[in-house]
Amino acid sequence: MTEIALIGNPNSGKTSLFNLLTGTSQRVGNWPGVTVERKSGNVKKLKEISVQDLPGIYSMSPYSPEEKVARDYLLSNHADSILNVVDATNLERNLYLTTQLIETGIPVTIALNMSDVLKNQGKSINSDKLAYQMGVPVVATSALKNTGVDKAVKKASQTTKGSVDSIQYPTYDAKFEAAIAQIIEVLGQTVPERSSRFYAIKLFERDRLVEEELDLSPFQKKEIKDIIQITEEVFTEDSESIVINQRYAFIERVSQMAQSQDNDFKMSASDKIDKIVTNRVLALPIFAVVMFLVYYLSIQTVGTMGTDWVNDVLFGKYVPEFVTGVLEALKVQAWLQSLIIDGVVAGVGTVLGFLPQIFVLFICLGILEDIGYMSRIAFVMDRIFRRFGLSGKSFIPMLISTGCGVPGIMASRTIENERDRRITIMTTTFMPCSAKLSVIALIAGAFFPHNPWIAPSAYFMGMIAIILSGIALKKTSFLGGYTSPFIMELPSYHLPKVDAVLRYAFGKAMSFVKRAGTIIFSLTVLIWFMSSYNFTLHSVDTENSILASLGRLLAWIFTPLGFGNWKATVAALTGLAAKETVVATFGILYNNPDATETTHSLWVSLQGDYTALAAYSFLTFNLLCAPCFASIGAIKREMGNLKWTLVAIAYQTGLAYLVSLIIYQLGLVAFYGKPVTLWTGLALVLLLVMLYFIIRKPRQVKEKVITLDNLSLSHN
């Protein structure tokens, strides 16, 4: 089995190539952090070849977790060959990583991706000249059009450690080469001969991780230190700057020989569009309009048409009538009929009823991602985040969390600063995921059918909660400190690929269906049992059930929030297991046999028990409170200890309670004309306290000065 390492800069098309080669559907995005751990798969047409999809990195200096994953794998000696995906539209910056990969001693093949995009810009790269200068095979590819991909992997499989006797390394200044040769001589047998040049250059850079990894003798350390100091005096620069400048001098020579450009320079269509959508004044209003349209299409119009039919006709009439007929024909016991009809069909059916809205939402988001717009939003939000002392890298987990909180939490691994990473983990699940979308759709449809802003407000509420939480937490002594830099690129716009968008939306929809068929199914059975029996296990009506008793016991907690009803209390608590269960619980507890095909029975029942303000308070609490068990498990894994996990859960739930209380209590006075009460005063005090924590001066945090992570990028 030949093992090929697939590696490249973020957004170079690496994961797209991996999907084409292996036939898998790994997530593809126009931002760094999509791949945060190594993934593997066999090539469809060449089963004897295994491909390892490594995280997108800019450098072999492991400043971030994903860079460490890639570096550790390459130096583990498992890879037979490297397929380096290079973005042809950003050749010089991409080749910086290539020079380091060649120095590992593992044979490299360059997949020159996006060559078609470069051609549209009036530029071209001569693959033969590039191959000659770099000393490695070069294959032009296009992941978008699926051209050259098979040829690239075949070439990589033929260019392995077993078939390549010697490596042609990048050539630098003679004085620098002399210094590296001396360090290699000092190292001797300390490192493998194949990767000795890589280790020598890293030691010259004073790479701390390599220094700690190698068990050098005091003599070796002194000799290497003397070599570095002498070379620094010769170049009148520090060692790291020397390496950076040497690499870019080599890359500049290569690119000048390999690249050509039309005489008439034309601003690309992407640049023209970016002048508008990334404009300092227009960017946010445009983003607000775009997200309004996304939620308007999915929640208020197109998606609602499908949901209305599924809820009222499919699960409101046809499925219950069909299942009832089958059960009666089989003479099934009454209790089992109740379990299946009132429990499973009512609960799971209510959740699945929102599938059309979820599918439409992810088609819209998939289109925005595929055309390259979402990466622009990451760029725009980074500008805003950094103004408040936050890391722009936090926005990437936010975007990913709109699908599911678990991968969003995992995406926080790309954040180097531990404090920024913890803040991101604590706040990223404020974004409405697909599970929360069912709650949003239920509340918006039942209480605000003619208000198109309710659904988008949930999205922006999550974003605002993240920003304000970040500002407040950043000013604390235990989460304050410097902000890690966020470096990303803006890919060219292109028309969305229909199959890619549908595959993305279908994957999200199927994930929702699987949860409905597993977790939600199990919970609906439990909820049905607890709503049908009392503590002595006698069949009773819902009002006298176990669930009602437990709900009434805890309902007082939510009374100040406007939904001190035992049914809403139970729904909010079951939402901790899975947010879809909120809707499933209401579906079971408010089973209305008098509903017609054109009337949402659940909507009518909810409208009888809650005001619109109480419903919005309920929505707010469920959006911001602790996420589902799966996300809590992800928080535990990423935080690394129980203490920080409990802090995160407590913060999320506490903030959700406070915001809901403020909305409901102040809303009573503002919208319903209710008199001011003690609760109103408490809400005002809490609001002022929250504002204080946001606007107060930050606490001073003592920490070491850290060198800018990827200095190499400043030369782009």
Cα separations in angstroms, 383 against 148, 379, 389, 431, 470: 37, 7, 10, 19, 15
d(CA 595, CA 96): 65
Is 114 one of the annotated binding-site residues? yes
Q: Which residues contact 509 (CB under 8 A, 6 or more apart)?
A: 355, 358, 359, 362
Cα separations in angstroms, 65 against 72, 154, 386: 11, 30, 21
Is 12 one of the annotated binding-site residues? yes
Is 445 one of the annotated binding-site residues? no
Cα separations in angstroms, 554 against 385, 524, 558, 646, 697: 39, 20, 8, 21, 38
- Here the tokens at position 199 are 């280790």
- Here the tokens at position 682 are 């408490």
Sign of the four-CA dihedral 648, 649, 651, 652: positive
Is 470 one of the annotated binding-site residues? no
Is 306 one of the annotated binding-site residues? no
d(CA 479, CA 532): 47
Is 83 one of the annotated binding-site residues? no
Cα separations in angstroms, 543 against 179, 275, 458, 480: 83, 60, 32, 49
Is 345 one of the annotated binding-site residues? no
Is 374 one of the annotated binding-site residues? no
Is 54 one of the annotated binding-site residues? yes
- Here the tokens at position 210 are 């390599």
Is 127 one of the annotated binding-site residues? no
What values do phi and psi take at 646, rounded to 5?
-65, -35
Sequential DSSP letters for 124-156: EE-HHHHHHHHTS-EEE-BTTTTBSHHHHHHHH
- Here the tokens at position 568 are 């809403």
Is 407 one of the annotated binding-site residues? no
Is 9 one of the annotated binding-site residues? yes
Is 116 one of the annotated binding-site residues? yes
Report the candidate in 371, 415, 367 with the shortest Cα–Cα distance to residue 395: 415
Whether the CB-CB separation of 466 and 690 falls below 8 Å is answered with no
What values do phi and psi take at 44, rounded to 5?
-55, -50
Is 8 one of the annotated binding-site residues? yes
Q: Which residues contact 468 (CB under 8 A, 6 or more apart)?
A: 690, 694
**How many CA atoms lie less than 13 Å away from 283 in the CB half-sphere?**
17
- What is the rounded end-to-end Cα distance, in angstroms, of the chain? 38
Is 98 one of the annotated binding-site residues? no
d(CA 247, CA 197): 14
Is 23 one of the annotated binding-site residues? yes
Strand arrangement of the beta sheet that strand 108-113 belongs to? 39-42, 49-53, 2-8, 81-87, 108-113, 138-140
Is 36 one of the annotated binding-site residues? yes
Helix (H) or strand (E) holding 399: helix 395-401
Cα separations in angstroms, 288 against 75, 310, 429: 46, 30, 20
Is 22 one of the annotated binding-site residues? yes
- Here the tokens at position 576 are 């901790």
Q: Which residues contact 380 (CB under 8 A, 6 or more apart)?
A: 278, 283, 284, 287
Is 485 one of the annotated binding-site residues? no
Whether the CB-CB separation of 374 and 31 falls below 8 Å is answered with yes
Is 412 one of the annotated binding-site residues? no
Binding site as annotated, residues for Mg(2+): 19, 22-23
Binding site as annotated, residues for GTP: 8-15, 33-37, 53-56, 113-116
Binding site as annotated, residues: 8-15, 19, 22-23, 33-37, 53-56, 113-116
